[in-house]
Chain A
């Protein structure tokens, strides 16, 4: 007990020391403009830093206690942190209260994790648990789908919720699209948002310049994005994984910079505005009809309600997302889909078996791009205004994070991850930049602790022997 505790204290001390060294300048000395041409001065935050370092010391101590089987002391430390964070005690900043309390919560979770894990394992091994698990994994997707379809009619479907629903579904669709590229074909694409941008600008330009409608442009935008995917993918797809990632990132940035600087076409940073929204059989969603058009409320003979447009948009994106999903599910059973997954597992073996890796990758790349193009033109129709600001690298990173967090290749995982990564932060909009900080840290933590994502189980697309007969898939 004695020497072990000493080791833990030493380890915690070292961690706290490193944290202090990391934070001393960046956190401790906040540079502020003194004004009046006097340059920069400091706003000292050394007390904040000291509190944070102490918390890190205690937290690290608690974590190593939990790891060494000393669960109760760890729980006590965690609870003490939660109490300290939630207490009215005066800490230098509101952030520190959150920091202390959340640290305590994490510590408690870590300490009781083995128990919870054992308990869940024990329950899921009982016959009824096994049956429940099977039924759950079979019906869970359908339940989610039913919930998504019925959402607009539920009592809590106010404008904010519907907006959020549309946003989440957009990311679900993008996640499913990228899942083809990253999850199935195993190609890390860091420039996915470029195809999204191509789709968005295709619709924005074709509708504002040539007066084409949403439903005409939608397939065109998809085709255009797929074409970009082929043009871009053809030369680069023979590169190995991480080079490919950087090249796609480069392409994504090139497209954004071109959009930003090609004033004649894209109106540069000012963006394109007054993009028409999607129509329902030629009728528009508006209170008063534009010349020569009919409004939806006139056509259907119902009273005008601003929410109708939102509900319509919601069903469009739900439909588009479901098409993406269905398409992917079907593709996985076709030879080319099988080839994608085989290629992800072992490229050399695939080549030996006569699969052309470049062409196979290219199909995945182009199809993924096509769905991003669809999503992009939906985005333009929904926002009615687009600018290069919406297509920065961080968007690609978010979509990638959804796919990775969901468990690469898992369709239901993407939905869960999109709800988690887009829905939760959107509810906590006030957190501002803390949101992105947490987002980055979450990406690291998932990779470290659960690199296979939330839904790590992946149903094999083919089993050579029936499940359970020993051969496996």
Chain B
């Protein structure tokens, strides 16, 4: 029981990170119907900017963890958002209206280029850092096993919940959210009614990148080490989460993230940690085969 609870706590933490990345996939897919294959790379860049931010904070003598976290959070969000914007502007926008697979191939190119760019600029070695929060408390003990919640896990879940709430509010209540939903339903009609479609799509990428950067920061703080390749696996898993929850649906992305976190952690905890990535990929394949619309998504109707 204690072991189970501990795994559950770990799974929720991991799921929160996946959920944040998954939102970027789901929003972009919802609005322009493409898989932003480079999104995992934005997450990786967010993690790197956070790493650099934490080192800068350290050298500036900012020793208070909450201030450092807030500063780094803002830094990573802003500068990763520029990446999101620039990727859309240069690699995807010129391809709107091209053949259907063109944006995906372009996205793969962006992903390869960004990975190698970071590898060249920052080196291939894993980088340790970002461990500014330590400690925690014992929830309870049973069967000679302490169930432990770290402060960091609480911060991760809290940050995620706050961001999700804020984000849901943006989509539901603000004019940007209305424009986004309008573009999602019918881009041409939205344009006719005076919605600036280009700007809305750009902002979607900016928001998605900012959330991915938060996920990158949390990932860095949680694992304490990153390298230039983390975006690939995390990206695929987050995409799986988005598909599992129903691509295009925000609560679905969060739910999918949680489920993927649960599957991964419990698989590693009870079966074998070597095959935990296989489990994630297998889930992706199974969901796409048996329920392509996901848990909370609407079935897609193909029009001639």
Contact = CB atoms under 8 A, between A and B. Distances in A.
B288 A437 contact: no
B116 interface: yes
Contact of B86 (A22, A29, A394): A22
A348 interface: yes
Contacts of A401: 105, 109
Interface in A408-437: 433-434, 436-437
B51 to A, nearest CB: 7
Contacts of B75: 25
B277 A257 contact: yes
A40 B129 contact: yes
A198 to B, nearest CB: 16
Interface string B5-23: 0000000000000000000
A448 B88 CA distance: 12
Interface in B108-153: 108-123, 125, 127-129
B302 A31 contact: no
A26 interface: yes
A98 interface: no
Interface string B265-304: 0000000001101100110110011001000000010101
Given A40-B55, A188-B101, A404-B105, A441 B113 contact: yes
B175 interface: no
Interface string A239-261: 11111011101110110011011
Interface string A40-62: 11100100000000000000000
Interface stretch (B61-69, B90-98, B162-170, B197-205): B90-98
Contacts of A247: 284-285, 288-289
A236 B98 contact: no
A291 B119 CA distance: 49
Nearest to B55: A40
Contacts, number: 184
B121 A400 contact: no
B48 A246 contact: no
Interface string A16-52: 0010011011110111110000011110010000000
Chain A interface size band reads 35 or more
Interface string A250-279: 110110011011000000000000000000
A441 B55 contact: no
Nearest to B232: A393
A207 B135 CA distance: 55
Contacts of B113: 437, 439-441, 443-444
Contacts of B102: 447, 451
Contacts of B105: 188, 400-401, 404, 443, 447
B79 A24 contact: yes
B86 A240 contact: no
B259 interface: no
A235 to B, nearest CB: 5
Contact of B288 (A18, A42, A188, A239): A239
A86 interface: no
Given A26-B122, A31-B123, A40-B129, A447 B288 contact: no
Nearest to A447: B106
Contacts of B282: 250, 254
B302 A40 contact: no
Contact of B123 (A30, A190, A258, A437): A30
A392 to B, nearest CB: 10
Contact of A241 (B48, B100, B243): B100
Contacts of B82: 18, 21-22
Nearest to B303: A348
Contacts of A394: 112
A261 B292 contact: no
Contact of A444 (B91, B122, B281): B91
A442 interface: yes
Nearest to A19: B86
A30 B118 CA distance: 10
A447 B98 contact: yes
B182 interface: no
A397 interface: yes
B236 interface: yes
B109 A251 contact: no
Interface in A377-392: none
A250 B284 contact: yes
B94 A448 contact: yes
B120 A31 contact: no
Contacts of A250: 236, 240, 281-282, 284-285
Contact of B281 (A21, A39, A254, A448): A254
A348 B304 contact: yes
Contacts of A443: 105-106, 108-109, 112-113
A22 B86 CA distance: 9
Interface of B: 34-35, 45, 48-49, 51-53, 55-56, 75, 79, 82-83, 85-86, 90-91, 94-95, 98-106, 108-123, 125, 127-129, 232, 236, 239-240, 243, 274-275, 277-278, 281-282, 284-285, 288-289, 292, 300, 302, 304
Interface of A: 18, 21-22, 24-27, 29-33, 39-42, 45, 188, 190, 235-236, 239-243, 245-247, 249-251, 253-254, 257-258, 260-261, 348, 393-394, 397, 400-401, 404, 433-434, 436-437, 439-444, 447-448, 451
18 contacts: A25-B48, A25-B53, A26-B117, A31-B127, A40-B127, A41-B55, A239-B292, A240-B300, A242-B34, A246-B284, A247-B285, A250-B284, A257-B275, A258-B278, A404-B105, A436-B115, A439-B112, A443-B109
